[in-house]
Amino acid sequence: MLLREDDRGWLGIGQPSHAWVSGQLARAWGNQQFGTVEPIEEVCLAAEQHDVGFGAWDLDPLQNPDTGLPYSFIEMPITEHLKVWRAGPRRLITQSRYAALLVSMHGERLYRRRNLDALDPRDADDVRAYLAEQQALQHELRESLRDDPAAAEYASDQHIAGNSQLIWTWDYISLVLCLDWDRRTARDVPTLDGAVDIEIGELTLHPWPFSAEAVTVRCEGRRLQPGQALDKAPWETVTYELRARS
């Protein structure tokens, strides 16, 4: 769960709803500079479902005793967080191997950013086991895709890496929006002529990666009070309209 503090208190946005924003960005993506998303259905599915493993957790999350609020995604006990990331790719395989591969790569990338030396040794060993599992799963999926004439065109290492970077970019833009972060930069975003950085301002992007002049995305959250049961918290829809920087 994403927890955003504002002048009205706390808004809890479920990870799958945040991922829904990523999917909306993915479907709007592309222009003469940024090209098109290919294969579009599989990549957009991966963007929209990259946090699918959080679905059950976000229905009944553990409460952080220090805050009285649900654990955010960065506060979750690592054993629970690993369960989520192990589950996600496996659930997507029944829909799309390509999407499952991208989600596995996304989770692996998140965990490779962790400092294992700073973890409890048992947690560090569990992370290493998770990384090895994902490497094996990714190898299996890559081979399967390359053996499939209908999928092989987009299964090269270069093409998969580019789409993985797009998932990373949309996830980051969605986090900036949902958490109301100040100005940020999305690094190494793929274009037709190499990677660029996108400056993210107050609902603006530069350079502009969409074909439409404006893009509107939305998600849903719950207005939280410390100690309140999640299913009693009122729902709230949040809408963002993105435009090119003037």
* β-pair type (194-200, 204-206): antiparallel
- Work out the average pLDDT over 240-244: 98
| pLDDT above 90 (res 155) | yes
**Span 55-68, average pLDDT:** 93
Quote the distance between the C-alpha of residue 132 and its chain's center: 21
* 0.95 exceeded by pTM: yes
pLDDT digits (tens, 9 = 90+) for 181-198: 999 999 999 999 999 999
pLDDT beyond 90 at 246? no
How many whole angstroms separate alpha carbon 44 and alpha carbon 228?
35
CB 105 within 8 A of CB 50: no
Q: Is the pLDDT of residue 1 over 90?
A: yes
- If one counts every other C-beta atom within 10 angstroms of the C-beta of residue 173, the result is 23
pLDDT in tens, 76-107: 999 999 999 999 999 999 999 999 999 999 99
Which H helix or E strand runs over 30?
none
Residue corresponding to tokens 């955010």: 72
Report the DSSP beta bridge partners of residue 240.
217
- Please give the share of the chain, as a percent, with pLDDT higher than 90: 98
